[in-house]
Amino acid sequence: MNQIDASLIDWSRAQFALTAMYHWMFVPLTLGLGLIMSIMETLYYRTKDVKWKRTAKFWMKIFGINFAVGVATGIILEFEFGTNWSNYSWFVGDIFGAPLAIEGIFAFFMEATFIAVMFFGWNKVSKGFHLASTWLTTGGATLSALWILVANAWMQFPAGMDFNPDVQRNEMTDFWAVALSPIAITKFIHTVISSWMLGGAVVIGISSWYLLKKREITFALDSIKVASLVGIVGILISIITGDTSANQIAEKQPMKLAAMEGLYDGGDGVGLVAAGILTPGKNYDDSQDPFVFKIEAPKMLSFLATRDLNGYVPGINDLVNGYDTPDGRVLSITEKMEKGNIANDALINYRQAKKAKDDATAAEAKKVLDENFPYFGYHFFKSPADAIPNVPMVFYSFRIMVILGCFFLLLFIIVWYFNHKGKFVKSKWLQLVCLWSIPLAYITSQAGWIVAEVGRQPWAIQDILPVQAAVSKVSAGSVQVTFFIFLILFTTLLIAELGILVKQIKAGPESTEENENH
């Protein structure tokens, strides 16, 4: 393999992370608001009370503004697979492209079709058809998320494919193994449901602003009633799917789990770190204590990972050095690198034999390649340390996500209770907490995405293709330039969106008279 400029890898990762994080500011609000506004219109359809139509129409405007900017950032994100990660796209394009194509052809077209009816069909179609259009718009957004998350989950757990040495590409052999992967299903449910939390937090926060301004009291309280329930349900289901996800990570991506817990030396009956500070500069092969201090729930990590309080959980050192299990030995990173080198040499020998029309040698080389291909990606590593993600970033992001998730569960319960008892309208302190919690909801969502994506590093595709082999062969300077162009562009879009949102919020929902014609 030709030497890749390290700065090119870093800048390519930074540019993709920048685009993904900006895009992810809009996606969860689209998913969360979609459900909330659909429920509100359903209440209008069932009760015929015009206040629910007025409420639904206002939140649809917020949805539409957010949706438009989200589409713009999403398109750029998909293009970057070709511009920044062309080796990746070549290597697995047949597999990765399939769910993205389905997302574009079916889900996005469904959104685009029915969103027009949702916005402009209030006085032109029947109430039932309009309600169906609203739910189909929300369903289309959710289906878009499904297929994108199927593609992402495949990167974390590649399945349903075979490597074709003649073209040096992975080819799909089982579409349903890709689409219905347990990792994909859990990731989809967890991501979409957790977005309900963010949607609920935004609706409650904006509604609290109206109460603080003593405006639109009924509208605000009705919005809070729906949003608090959606938020509570979203977080409770997210806890369940998060538990399932942790169990799957322990099985499929044990290095990610070790990084999430700052666990260097594994063992039986391992505790779950509730809070802690990592030792700065800690390396996997030194003798420093991993923590300056920590608060631990005894044996809970073993239970989450293995469903056994005394179950064995490997740490970073165990994964690097190899360890024994009742089912056999887990190879060290060095041993995996050796097998990766064998796989790479076998691929070279296979192609040379095919070129020389030596079928016997080619068949033998392919056999060796197939036996060692599960470790193919390790031949790109220079040392075992290359297999370890950024432990502090993953560790702290995970705790931010969990702690803020618990905060929002408590907040939503308090908000619902105060609203149910008629006390929220007079609780200025709680209204201020809700308003200023909006940024915390975005931090929670971003932290979860960081855990998922930084935790799987250095892999673009788990065990098969690391990021240094996935990057495009372009100059680091060109990626730097486009990084700052995108930074300026996305920041401008964000400022413009916030300006439009603030203007719309200040204007408030339409008057009751404007909504009585339908």
Asked whether the whole model's pTM tops 0.85, one would answer yes
For 50-85, what is each residue's pLDDT tens digit? 999 999 999 999 998 888 888 888 888 888 888 888
The count of other CB atoms within 10 Å of the CB of residue 299 is 17
Residue 270: which residues within 8 A CB-CB, separation 6 or more? 261, 263, 299, 301, 302, 305, 313
What pLDDT does residue 515 have? 57
**Cα-to-chain-centroid distance, residue 60:** 24
Dihedral sign for Cα atoms in the order 60, 63, 67, 69? positive
Q: What is the dihedral of CA 494, 131, 143, 257, to 10 degrees?
A: 70
Residues 181-205 have a mean pLDDT of 92
- Residue 237 host element (H or E): helix 217-252
Task: Report which of 87, 91, 89, 85 is spatially closest to residue 100, judged by C-alpha positions.
Answer: 89
What pLDDT does residue 397 have? 94
SS3 146: helix
Question: What is the SS3 assignment for 422-468?
Answer: CCHHHCHHHHHHHHHCHHHHHHHHHHHHHHHHHCCCCEEECCCEEHH
Residue 240: which residues within 8 A CB-CB, separation 6 or more? none
pLDDT at 123 over 90: no
- Residue 474 host element (H or E): none
Residues 332-345 have a mean pLDDT of 94
For 366-417, what is each residue's pLDDT tens digit? 999 999 999 999 999 999 999 999 999 999 999 999 999 999 999 999 999 9
Count Cα atoms within 13 angstroms, Cβ side, for 162. Answer: 8
Residues 304-311 have a mean pLDDT of 90
What pLDDT does residue 281 have? 87
Distance (Å, rounded) from C-alpha 179 to C-alpha 393? Answer: 30
Poorest-pLDDT segment among 119-123, 194-198, 292-296, 377-381: 119-123
SS3 293: strand
SS3 274: strand
What pLDDT does residue 219 have? 93
What pLDDT does residue 518 have? 47
